[in-house]
Amino acid sequence: MNLIKMFEQKGFSDVINLVASAFNSLKDILYIIHVDQFDFTYMYANQAGLSVLNTDQSLFGKQMEEFLPKERALFLKPLYEKAAHSKRIVTFEEEITLSNGQVIINETVLTPIDDGEHQYIVAIVRDVTEKTLRLQELQQSKRKLEENKLMLDSLITNNDDAVLMLDTAGIFHEINQAAEKIIGYQPSELIGTHFSKLMTQKEYEKIQMIEQQVTQGETFRYETKIYHKNGNEIYVDVKNIPITIEGTLTGLYGIVKDITSNKRAEQARRESEETFRIIAENSVDIIKVINPEGKITYISPSVEDILGYPVKKRVNESLFDTVHPDDFEKIRDIFKNLIETKEHVDIEVRRKHLDGHFVWLHSDLIPVLDSEGELEKIVVISGDISEYKRKVKKLEKMAFYDYLTGLPNRRILLERLNQSMYTTDRTGKLTALLVLDCDNFKQVNDSFGHDIGDEVIKEFSKRVRRTIRDTDTLSRVGGDEFTVVIPEIMDKQQVFDISNRILEAVHAPMEIKDHVLHLTTSIGISFYPFHGKEMAELLKKADENLYTSKSLGGNTFSY
């Protein structure tokens, strides 16, 4: 039954109209529901209630299950039953998603009414979204404030650094326990005292200038010296953080870190660098510092003496610049290996001088590791070994070449002969070995002296060299005895032709220091593989054939 009609029938139409008008003017939703045990029937709804359900007064007289969706009825009915049976007010909140996607929070108050004859529930639904959100924000702010306070307390209490709270007059109000480890004072010994107690007048005056910036609300960081309780001077890093409440500066936090060991290490590093600089700038060797990427970060002035480059020309350039092309891969591989192993290595390398020629350097590459064992830099000490290389080259030449003629000696002869024999085995061609000397050379020495004899030997070697091929090897094995290795010949006639050219070249008149000499040569020939499979066999056969040529009067060849 419609509740309004029911009251109209009882003669309360004026009052009912007034009340209905008042209810309809409410923004809140109002429902009056008749309770009959477990049945709940809509008796009245104000305009807001009808609108939200998208209905009219046809709702009146319908039970909850008849009108509401099943899920909605199942949610609401237990709450209505609780209010009806307990006869107590039931309040609940729920989130409602509107058709436009907006989410609102509704608070519903179910008030049971019993007039002795009938039982009703008055349901008032109110939008409490804004109120709830404000409350949530307030609770969140309160919770955040409590968390921040706990965090601040924890930061102060558990901080390894000293944390000091001062008022605007510079008086200590709070000090954490870590301060005792740094400055030696217990908190109780400093609270209520002025911070100037910890420093000299000079440091205090400097700090006063800094404090002026803090009073303007700025966070400021600086280093200073203070005194430990035992009287020792310590270096500290101080960060001052202003404390501002409602725009008014009430004090500051000072976070103090002991950096004495860092300062001493820095001083030691500066002294070490100064010592290094003095050594490097007065060293005759080139001293470089390079980073792990191979870039030069420092180079000593001696680079100009040895390589001609000004210091500023080489700084920031690559270690691999100016390296001889033939040495590039070698130094690249050694540097890569040093990066991986972090072990000292040395190398001999050629670097290009500013004027274009190359200079031999012996370089020691010494890795420098940081505190964690990682490669920090590499010190390279390079000495000029060009003169040493020249001497080595000279000694090598003396070991393998004849000092008088510059021709290969017996060691190279044997090497070239062995190589030629090996090639012959592969190609099937021939190798010839010629042994020759200057006929009657002893008479030349006896008649004209050893100086003339030396000149004869040099001229003899020149004439023979002009008659042979570029691929042939002429060697002086001692005195006036020479050998020629002739590889890759097709037939013996090629060797005979070369031998005849040698005989003709040597027999031509020879002018030596105003003397005209007429000389001849004898040649002994052996062929590989016909005269032996071993070098000794070839040499022996060629010597035998040489003596045969001499026995025939010289100026001929035998084979």
Residue 148 confidence (pLDDT): 67
- Report the pLDDT value the prediction gives residue 197, as an integer from 0 to 100: 86
pTM: 0.44
Q: How many residues in the chain?
A: 559
pLDDT (0 to 100) of residue 12: 45
Can you give the pLDDT at residue 441?
94
Q: Which residues of 497-515 are buried (b: 16+ CB within 10 A; e: fewer)?
A: ebbeebbebbeeebebeee
Query: Which are the contacts of 262, defined by CB distance < 8 A and separation ≥ 6?
Result: 235
Cis peptide before 292 (omega within 30 of 0): no
- Residue 258 is predicted with a pLDDT of 86
For the record, the structure tokens of 491 come out as 């037939």
What does the alpha-carbon distance between residue 323 and residue 351 come to, in Å, rounded to a whole number? Answer: 5
Radius of gyration, alpha carbons of the chain: 56
Q: Which of 345, 378, 377, 375 is nearest to 362 (CA)?
A: 345
Residue 100 vs residues 55, 104, 464: alpha-carbon distances, Å: 19, 11, 112
Which pLDDT score is estimated for 203? Answer: 81
Burial of 256 (0-12, 13-18, 19+ CB in 10 A): buried
**Is the Cβ–Cβ distance between 391 and 403 less than 8 Å?**
no
The token pair that represents 294 in the structure block: 């191979």
Residue 215 structure tokens: 């009073």
- Helix or strand run (H / E) with residue 163: strand 162-167
How does DSSP assign 204-223, residue by residue? HHHHHHHHHHHHTT--EEEE
Domains and CATH numbers, the chain: 3-127 (3.30.450.20), 159-258 (3.30.450.20), 282-389 (3.30.450.20), 401-558 (3.30.70.270)
| pLDDT computed for residue 210 by the predictor | 64
Q: How far is CA 377 from the centre of its chain?
A: 12
Alpha-carbon distance of 302 to 438, in angstroms, equals 55
How far apart CA 30 and CA 70 sit, in angstroms, is 21
Three-state SS for 465? Answer: helix
Structure tokens belonging to residue 445? 């020495």
Q: What is the mean pLDDT of each run of 10 residues along the chain (559 residues)?
A: 52 53 79 91 91 88 90 92 94 85 89 89 91 84 75 71 86 87 88 86 76 68 87 87 82 86 81 72 86 92 91 89 93 92 93 94 92 91 91 80 91 94 95 96 92 95 96 94 96 96 96 92 97 95 97 96
pLDDT at position 374: 92
| Cα–Cα distance, 392 to 349 (Å, whole number) | 15
DSSP reduced 3-state for 337: helix
Residue 101 region by backbone torsions, left for phi larger than 0, else alpha for psi between -120 and 50, else beta:
left
Q: How many beta carbons lie within 10 A of that of residue 376, not counting itself?
A: 14
